[in-house]
Structure 1
Amino acid sequence: MKFVKEEEEERGDYILQKDTKTKVGATFIIVTLIILIIAVVISGIFFEWY
């Protein structure tokens, strides 16, 4: 089983495909997680939990 499938490969046993949708989705998820982490840190500082 392959983790990432190239666009031109013809196979069915893969988890992610290297195409625009996958790249946009992964970027969106990473940016969202970073924003959430920053929000938690800022709220912790604001409420003096740290």
Structure 2
Amino acid sequence: MENTVKDEKIRNEKTEFAKEAHDPKEEYIFQKNGITKKGFFIIVAALVILAIALIMSGVAF
């Protein structure tokens, strides 16, 4: 018995960065809605806190 693998061509390679709420498209990375915006600000705040802690630890030692 022969094992073969068939490659399927990706039908649409135009992946966009953000999807508008009214767009029916499927190829996107982020969706423009409240959850994405809140998550973005939480991640940025955490990175800022980490950067401040890193700088403070360098000053303290």
Instruction: Kindly report structure 1 stretches of 4+ aligned residues shifted beyond 2 Å.
Output: none
More helix by percentage: 1
Question: Which residue number in structure 1 is paired with residue 51 of structure 2?
Answer: 37
Question: Larger C-alpha radius of gyration, 1 or 2?
Answer: 2
Using the size of structure 1 for normalisation, the TM-score is 0.91
Name the counterpart of 1:22: 36
Structure 1 unpaired stretches of 5+:
none
| 1:10-41 CA-partner distances (Å, limit 9, x unpaired) | 11100000000000000000000000000000
Which has the bigger relative contact order, CA under 8 A and spacing at least 6? 1
* Matched length: 47
Q: Distance in 1 between matches of 2:21 and 2:39?
A: 16
Secondary structure of the structure 2 residue equivalent to 1:7? coil
Gaps of 5+ in 2: 1-14
Q: Quote the sequence identity (%).
A: 40
Structure 2 length-normalised TM: 0.75
